[in-house]
């Protein structure tokens, strides 16, 4: 049995060596797992920060777009009102010119009977 015992001891030593190698690999993997878990935690914290920033930026953009839309509406309304004022001013100017022309004819001494009499007397 000494041959069998030696074989058994050889197998036992090989098993111990195999187990030792597996434990070393396990320890290496455990270290890598811990490092990955730390990286994962760091990334999750960064994602949370970026998610908050994204939310804040989205809210800010919504407010800015709303303000811009309000300004666009105000500009459009002012353009329309300005056009109406221009049209009304032109109409007022036309009416004033016509009235002044009519008043000028009524006041002009050449068009009145008194003015005609004065001209006749000057000719005579």
- How far is the C-alpha of 118 from the C-alpha of 113, rounded, in Å? 9
Residue 115 lies in a domain: no
- The distance in angstroms from the start CA to the end CA of the chain is 174
Residue 29 lies in a domain: yes
The answer to whether 108 and 115 have CB atoms below 8 angstroms apart is yes
The answer to whether 99 and 108 have CB atoms below 8 angstroms apart is no
Residue 77 lies in a domain: yes
The answer to whether 83 and 89 have CB atoms below 8 angstroms apart is no
Residue 44 lies in a domain: yes
- How far is the C-alpha of 18 from the C-alpha of 11, rounded, in Å? 10
| The predicted structure's pLDDT at residue 123 | 66
For residue 60, the enclosing domain spans: 7-109
Mean pLDDT of the chain: 89
40: DSSP letter: H
Task: Give the model confidence (pLDDT) of 14-44 as tens digits.
Answer: 999 999 999 999 999 999 999 999 999 999 9
Residue 123 lies in a domain: no
* The total number of structural domains that make up the chain: 1
| The predicted structure's pLDDT at residue 51 | 98
Residue 121 lies in a domain: no
The pTM of the whole model exceeds 0.85: no
Residue 118 lies in a domain: no
> Largest Cα–Cα distance in the chain?
174
Task: Give the model confidence (pLDDT) of 107-118 as tens digits.
Answer: 665 555 655 666
Residue 75 lies in a domain: yes
């Amino acid at each position: 049995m000494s041959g069998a015992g030696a074989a058994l001891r050889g197998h036992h030593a090989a098993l111990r060596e195999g187990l030792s190698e597996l434990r070393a690999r396990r320890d290496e993997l455990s270290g890598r797992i811990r490092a990955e878990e730390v990286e994962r935690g760091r990334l999750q914290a960064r994602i949370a920060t970026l998610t908050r920033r994204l939310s804040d930026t989205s809210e800010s953009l919504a407010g800015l777009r709303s303000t811009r839309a309000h300004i666009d509406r105000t500009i459009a309304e002012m353009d329309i009102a300005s056009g109406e004022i221009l049209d009304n001013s032109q109409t007022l100017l036309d009416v004033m010119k016509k009235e002044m022309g009519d008043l000028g004819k009524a006041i002009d001494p050449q068009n009145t009977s008194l003015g005609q009499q004065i001209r006749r007397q000057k000719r005579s």
